[in-house]
Amino acid sequence: MTLPKTPSFRLDQKRALVAGASSGIGLACAVALGEAGAKVTLAARRVDALNTLVDKMNAAGMKADALPLDVSDIAGTRASVASHGPFDILVNSAGLARHSPALDTTEDDFDTVSDVNVKGAYFLTQAVVNGLVAAGKPGSLINISSQMAHVGGIDRAVYCATKHAVEGFTKSMAIEWGKAGIRINTISPTFILTDLTRPTFADPEKRAWIEDKIKLGRPGKVEDIMGGVVFLASEASAMVTGTSLLVDGGWTAE
């Protein structure tokens, strides 16, 4: 008998677009894909930060370039992706949150968060797939969602709504594009320690609540996301589409 062979996790000859790549989870995903051999285009609004990171990645032996991008600008996103693609891999880590009690939600807060987390994510995904379909190529698309796409959270009604929406359109797109060999999934992290979340972790009461809910007893690190994104981008996950990889330390297990 012939023994089965593990599919490759390597991404050589693949082109990846990582939105929201200037810091945090997006940066970690860009590095993970670069280490796996992909040529990575780092996209975000902060051009200076992007250029610094591109220089560091290239100096470390990876292949990277920068693309200024604001995913809430739909026309600009479509034009940029069309002119720089096609991309074999998309990681959309662009997102924001404005937390407040539901009774205090303003229309501006709702629209601002939705425009990035839902509308921006939707049309960025569409733009990348348009390029893949035109080129007759398969691809792997990954939206960075949240554990809050699977549960509720105090003061997080708007954020939860947007991340639940991402899970919904991801499933529908997986059904639509599967026959073209285009896979789409989400990664749903728990609270990850980044510059943006440091104020939350600096509050002893909030940190205690988080660590009590995370069954592994610690907050997440960006490194906890890196293996998952390589898995979903690579042929190792060739039969995985329309689902969510929960990297939540057991938060949603109960």
Residues with a known catalytic role: 159
Where is 158: in which H helix or E strand?
helix 157-177
36, 226 in Cβ contact below 8 A? no
Closest to 25 in 3D by CA, of 205, 191, 210:
191
Q: Is the dihedral of CA 242, 80, 189, 228 positive or negative?
A: positive
103 burial type by CB count under 10 A (0-12 exposed, 13-18 middle, 19+ buried): exposed
Residue type, 31: V
Q: What are the E-state strand segments in the chain?
A: 15-19, 39-44, 63-68, 89-92, 139-144, 182-189, 244-247
Residue 45 CA to residue 71 CA, distance in Å, equals 9
How is residue 6 annotated by DSSP?
A: P
Asked if residues 26 and 91 have their Cβ atoms less than 8 Å apart, the reply is yes
Nearest alpha-carbon partner for 160 in 237, 85, 95:
95
